[in-house]
Amino acid sequence: MEREAKARLENSRSNEELCSITELESWHTLPLAEVFARLHADDMHGLTQAEALRRLAQHGPNVLAQARQRSTLSILRAQFHSLIVALLIAATAIAFAMGDEMEAVAILVVIVLNAGIGFFTEWKAEQALSALQEQSVRVAHVIRDGTERQIPAAELAPGDLVVLAAGARVPADGRIVESVRLQIEEAALTGESHAVTKSSEALTDQEAALGDRCNMAFLGTTITDGRGRLLVTATGAQTEVGKIGVLIDDATTRATPLEQKLARLGRLLIVVVLALCAVIVVAGWLRGVTDFWHMLEIGLSLAIAAVPEGLPAVTTMTLALGMQRMARMRALIRRLPAVETLGSVTVICTDKTGTLTKNEMTACVYALDNRRIDVTGAGYEPVGVFRVADESVDQRTDENLALALRIGMLCNDAKVERTDGRDVVLGDPTEAALIVVAEKAGMKQADLAADFPRISELPFNGATKRMVTVHRGPQSRTLAFVKGAPATLLAASVAQVGRSGITSLKPDDNRRWQERNQELAGAALRVLGLAYRELPEGYEKEDFDRELVFVGLVGMSDPLREEAKSAIATCRSAGIRTVMITGDQQPTAAEIARQLDIDRDLNGRPLRAVHGRELTALDDAGWQRAVADAAVFARVSPEHKLQIVEALQEQGHVVAMTGDGVNDAPALKQADIGIAMGIKGTEVAKENADMVITDDNFASIVGAVEQGRIIYGNILRFLHYLLSCNLSEILTVFLALMIGWPLPLVALQILWLNLITDVFPAFALALEPSSPNVMQRLPRDQHESLLTFHFVRLIAWQASLLAAATLLAFGVGMHWYGTDGDGLRQATTMAFMTLAIAQVVHVFNARSQRRSAFTGRLFTNSWLWAAVGICLMLQAAAVYLPLLQDVLHTSVPSRSDWWVIALCSLLPVAVVELVKLVQRVAARSRGISHA
């Protein structure tokens, strides 16, 4: 018992000490040994999992305070902050003033129901967006219990040992304990735009500014080069970023261009509708239809009915549901504007490796001296044999092959772990392929690393296109192993390895190697050159780039994704051009483009493959010609990617650009849609992208474009439906007054129509599935107004048709029953039911502006049929339930009334179908296909 009590006391003291230590401001001045001691951390094995969980519970998750979500109360309160509600309240006051308490109460019920529907819609949209945000989880590579693992960054605790690599963001504040050319860009925190070179040495300046603490790294900053390790000293709110409250995500608070268009449309409609209703009120009063106050109540009801107050809420929910649907299809939308822009994309600039191909690299051929050595086996299973023609090669006695395999395995940062029968690749698949092929020859990575310990390195650089590692070899030799683009290695080589040993590299030899490189690349293989150099004492960094000994070439295959070709064909039919931008060699990229049918434009004109060197020093006119005539850009730099995007945009294209590296961020940001890869993409690329493809698959990009088109089409569908229905109500009353008839609808009937026929069908249209040829149309002009002339004309004549059918039923009712007392009530009921049912049925017209409603797709939207069923039942209740009869001033229609109501309600559908048929016949005669 005493021992347990003592342990608890020591543990308590350790906790108190750790709490005070993590608030220390001078970590940068302490020797590394003291830093580890104060944090009770292990420099080799990191924390144990149990200790990490204990510290996580003690210090809380490693997260920053996020922008607060709208509370339920604030969403509810917002439903009453609109002009629509003010109009309803005014109508309620007028009803009370006129002594019509039942009507006033009914309008209050409308207010509550309207607010409830708006609240539910916005609350669902908020939940959808919140759920979407939670899918974007940042990760950290940490060493625990002596093994490297990937965990959510939120689970980091003080004392964790974190592995840092180029392209990632620093997941917490901490002290640098290992640095290999580690550079971190800290502009988000310090404002300094240049990357800071980091070291592990203690500083002497106690008051050093954050930007001068070169042995510290801070949460949210960007690793631009090199690698290293970080000992976490602060997490969450205790970090420097947490203290000043930066990097708060405000993505959900920004209005999208589409939402801005809809808001402007809403304000315009309110002004126009109020003006029209004012004219109706004055005209009806002057004509003596009824007294002024009753006419004012009718006018307010029309104004309320005509303005589609549910439009912003339905739009937000449509976007949010569409984003969730995209997320299920492996396309994570990070910014709402991307949904709108997706439907306008005209060019997709895509990487090759992992996007059009599977990124399952397999080293399948070596070109050494004058031999071609083929390697059997595929994937990451270390099983295969080496052959020259039909003869096996003994890799244990073939010195040249052994040297090539050794270079590939040692000049390498990847790992291949095999657990539970699964091959897990940590790092670049190309490097993993070099490890696997060496394992096929019996080599072990751990044994080689022990025999040739690494003492320094130069990570792969996009400019030099090579990677260098320096090792201590036998007899205290210092060897530099190099792999990279064959052309750059040959340019830096002065000798070569042959069957007879090392010989000088003559121009003819160089040309022969270049031809072999072209031969392998032309077979759609990714080709790397292998070289080495024995370094002199006191060597400099510049020695890595000269006097190399060229060993040979290794060719790697990466099979095409099965769905890539069909996805590109879909793009072609959708009027979207595909451009491949890759760091691979020109022949390899050209062959892949040929296999995927990318090597021609939308009109079938052949396009060429452009090498990056052709892009150097191009003027504006040269860039315009290059992007117009090329389908493939090979061996390009990140700067070229940015210039390609800019040149395409200058030609009026809406560009989607894929990227995965740190240097891809400018191009991703410049593109209209930046698309980061979820698997191989760096955190920097993801942060600068509008969309993240979680499976790195080109087909997922095409699927997202299709969903973007569907979402925008659905917004136009329910806009078409809402505006035509609401305008029909105004026209019905206005035309009746102009004819000199009594009012065909009473105020509460108008409000009922607004509540019932607007809401449920509009929501159902927002869930409309794709039309059959949505990807067979040309991209939409993103600058096009929502209310084009054609769209306004369509809404106007269909609204007039609905109003005419209603007035026809009303006229028949007045002819049958007269215009006084119960007779007018019966005629009004016929008009009310006709307009209600006609609007409900009109939802089928709104599904497509050209396609007939009566096709095989009639039953594809179950939500639509449910909405129609609900509306029809509620309309039946409006004339058969005594309570609703009293509130809505309706009566039970006779059998002959129902025949008139049915015929007049279906008349608009028949006329619209006839017009669509004429348009389709005319379009077919001109060779045009319409949805």
- DSSP line for 424-435: EEES-HHHHHHH
**Cα(901)–Cα(894) distance, integer angstroms:** 10
**Cα(641)–Cα(583) distance, integer angstroms:** 11
**Cα(579)–Cα(577) distance, integer angstroms:** 7
**Cα(810)–Cα(808) distance, integer angstroms:** 5
Residue indicated by tokens 């769209």? 791
Quote the DSSP letter at residue 69: P
List the beta bridge partners of residue 457. 469
Task: Assign 163 to helix, strand or coil.
Answer: strand
- DSSP line for 565-607: HHHHHHHHHTT-EEEEEESS-HHHHHHHHHHHT-SB-TTS-B-
**Cα(7)–Cα(339) distance, integer angstroms:** 57
CB 211 within 8 A of CB 196: yes
**Cα(291)–Cα(658) distance, integer angstroms:** 66
Listed residue (86, 88, 118, 79) closest to 106, CA to CA: 88
**Cα(743)–Cα(386) distance, integer angstroms:** 92
**Cα(896)–Cα(505) distance, integer angstroms:** 101
Question: For the sheet containing 673-677, what is the strand order?
Answer: 331-333, 691-693, 673-677, 655-659, 347-350, 577-582, 630-634, 608-611
What token pair was written down for 712?
Answer: 């925008």
Neighbours of 662 (CB within 10 A): 22
**Cα(446)–Cα(66) distance, integer angstroms:** 44
CB 861 within 8 A of CB 868: no
**Cα(559)–Cα(551) distance, integer angstroms:** 26
CB 675 within 8 A of CB 656: yes
Q: Which of 351, 398, 545, 599 is catalytic?
A: 351
What token pair was written down for 616?
Answer: 């150097």
- In sequence order, which residues have a C-beta less than 8 Å from that of residue 228 and are 6 or more positions away? 164, 176, 177, 178, 179, 180, 182, 198
Residue indicated by tokens 């970590």? 27
Q: With helix as H, strand as E and coil as C, how does 17-36 read?
A: HHHHHCCCCCHHHCCHHHHH
Listed residue (149, 225, 159) closest to 463, CA to CA: 225
**Cα(774)–Cα(779) distance, integer angstroms:** 10
- DSSP line for 531-566: EEEEPPTT--GGGGGSSEEEEEEEEEE-PBPTTHHH
Four-CA torsion 320, 322, 327, 329, nearest 10 degrees: 170
**Cα(298)–Cα(277) distance, integer angstroms:** 9
- In sequence order, which residues have a C-beta less than 8 Å from that of residue 766 and are 6 or more positions away? 314, 317, 318, 321, 714, 715, 717, 718
CB 839 within 8 A of CB 801: no
Listed residue (558, 555, 521, 554) closest to 696, CA to CA: 558
Q: Tell me if residue 351 is catalytic.
A: yes
Instruction: Tell me the one-letter amino acid at 598.
Output: I
Q: Which residues are catalytic?
A: 351
